[in-house]
Amino acid sequence: MHEMRPHLIATDFPPLIRSSLDTMQANLGYRCNQTCVHCHVGSSPHRTEEMSWETMEMMLRVMEQHQVTTLDMTGGAPEMNPHFRPLVQAARAQGVHVMDRCNLTILNEPGYEWLADFLAENQVEVVASLPCYLEDNVDKQRGKGVFQRSIEGLKQLNELGYGRTKALSLSLVFNPQGPVLPPEQSSLEAAYKTHLKDAFGVEFTQLFTLANMPIKRFGSTLISKGEFDDYMALLKGSFNAQTLPGLMCKSLISVDWQGYLYDCDFNQQLEMPLGGASKPVHIAQLADNVAGAPIRVAEHCYGCTAGQGSSCGGALAD
């Protein structure tokens, strides 16, 4: 059992039912060129887990069968999977919209000089981590020098048309540094756009604000500091029922690097099988129709429904 599950598994969170399957969110592996304190996956340069091409082919077949319209690639740094390029090309050939959750610094990592051009050529939507527009805050959270390397990556993407043309969407992701809720998304987006444009000439499409999930590295940090209960009380006390219809798990299924399925990326990290099944469900076993299926909930679900809400696509309510 995962170390965080005893703190999260018992819950009074309202039951959820999947309405459709529009998005397959694939964790391509845990290897990353960064080690961030807020990471809910526990990724690092030392991790070796990665999705095989055989699993990717199976995922592509299932996506075609279920008419999945979006492939959302995450990690780790998903681009570090050796099969990243053929996966993107195969998905695009199926007419699938592809999203890359990029940490930006991978764009100027030795050996990845091809990446930015490849993303643009395949019209891959880039969702990029930039948890603040101030250098000190970013480096504190993600490592020394990460902010400047992120700005370099953003400029590289801008030169290719990202954030400046409709076809090349560039979204930035903000998350707080500690156990607090993110600020209101639209006002923070305006501040980001003004500062990054004035200071660096950087442009982007939109900002997503995400609450930190009390799991993996961030959850363990909360427990070690004696802040876990207070943070959970904040999330539960800020519950907003208006966010429930827009929760990502209502139209998304998460697949791990081994091909096992979960209701969301957070459930994946807590090893909570799809729909509350008693044992892991492999992608080869996915039912023909998943609409109406139950979604596994736990205490961390309050992280997606606190305040304005939080999902892989940002805020869910005004």
| pLDDT tens per residue across span 270-293 | 899 999 888 999 999 998 889 999
pLDDT tens per residue across span 28-49: 998 887 555 545 565 666 788 9
Pairing relation of β-strands 23-27 and 252-255? parallel
Residue of 87 and 315 predicted with greater confidence: 87
- 119-123 average pLDDT score: 98
Q: Which of 44, 112, 114, 120 is nearest to 75 (CA)?
A: 44
Residues across the chain: 318
Taking 80 as the threshold, does the pLDDT of residue 241 lie above it? yes
Round to whole Å and give the CA distance between 289 and 61.
Answer: 15
pLDDT tens per residue across span 132-190: 776 666 666 656 678 899 999 999 999 999 999 999 999 999 888 789 999 999 999 99
Is-contact 177 137, C-beta < 8 A? yes
Q: Which of 146, 148, 107 is nearest to 124 (CA)?
A: 107
Taking 50 as the threshold, does the pLDDT of residue 1 lie above it? no
Note the helical H segments in the chain: 5-8, 53-65, 84-93, 115-121, 135-142, 146-159, 185-200, 216-224, 228-237, 265-269, 302-305
- Three-state SS at 152: helix
Fold adopted by 5-305? TIM Barrel (3.20.20)
Apex CA 190: angle with CA 189 and CA 196, to 5°? 85
